C-alpha cells in the first residue's frame, strides 16, 4: 500500500539553503573538527609517500632498461629479453599515468 508523503511546509527554492542540515539543524561548511578531514589528509599523505617511492623505483628501472640496450647480445634469448624489457617499460608508463590520475582524484575529492 502506498501512502502519500505529507509535508508540513511547501518547498520553494527561496526556502532551501544548501548549507542547512536536515530537520532544521545547521551544518557549518568545511567543519575543521570533523575527523573525516583528518582521514582524507592521512590518505593523501599515504598516497604521496607511495607515489614518491614508486617513482624512484621506476626511475631505477628505466635506467636499468636504458643500460641494457647497450649490451651486445644476439639470438633468441636476447630478443626475448629485449621484448620483455620493452613490455616492462610500457607497463611502467601506464603505472605512472595511473598514479598521476589517483593523485589528482585524491586532491580533488574530500576535504579541502
- With bands split at pLDDT 50, 70 and 90, how would you rate the model's confidence at 30? low
Distance, in Å, from the CA atom of 24 to the CA atom of 102, rounded to the nearest integer, reads 37
Q: In angstroms, rounded to a whole number, what is the distance separating the alpha carbons of residues 49 and 6? A: 52
Rg of the chain, C-alpha, whole Å: 27
Q: What is the mean pLDDT of the chain?
A: 78
For the chain, what's the residue count?
Answer: 112
Nearest CA to 65 out of 79, 85, 94 is that of 85
What pLDDT does 11 receive?
A: 46
Percent of the chain predicted with pLDDT > 90: 46
Q: How does residue 77 score in pLDDT terms, banded at 50, 70 and 90?
A: very high
Distance CA 23, CA 48 (A): 40
Instruction: Give the model's confidence band at 40: pLDDT under 50 very low, under 70 low, under 90 confident, else very high.
Output: confident
pTM, full prediction: 0.58
What per-residue string of b and e applies to 25-47 under the rule 16 or more CB within 10 Å gives b?
Answer: eeeeeeeeeeeeeeebeeeeeeb
What is the DSSP track for 47-77?
HHHHHHHHHHHHHHHHHHHHHHTT----SHH
Task: Decide if pLDDT at 88 tops 60.
Answer: yes
Amino acid at each position: 500500500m502506498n501512502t502519500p508523503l505529507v509535508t508540513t511546509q511547501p518547498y520553494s527554492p527561496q526556502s532551501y539553503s544548501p548549507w542547512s542540515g536536515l530537520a532544521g539543524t545547521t551544518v557549518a561548511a568545511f567543519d575543521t573538527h570533523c575527523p573525516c578531514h583528518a582521514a582524507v589528509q592521512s590518505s593523501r599523505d599515504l598516497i604521496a609517500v607511495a607515489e614518491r617511492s614508486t617513482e624512484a623505483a621506476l626511475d631505477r628501472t628505466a635506467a636499468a632498461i636504458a643500460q641494457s640496450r647497450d649490451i651486445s647480445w644476439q639470438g633468441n634469448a636476447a630478443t626475448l629479453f629485449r621484448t620483455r624489457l620493452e613490455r616492462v617499460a610500457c607497463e611502467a608508463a601506464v603505472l605512472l599515468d595511473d598514479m598521476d590520475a589517483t593523485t589528482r582524484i585524491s586532491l580533488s575529492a574530500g576535504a579541502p
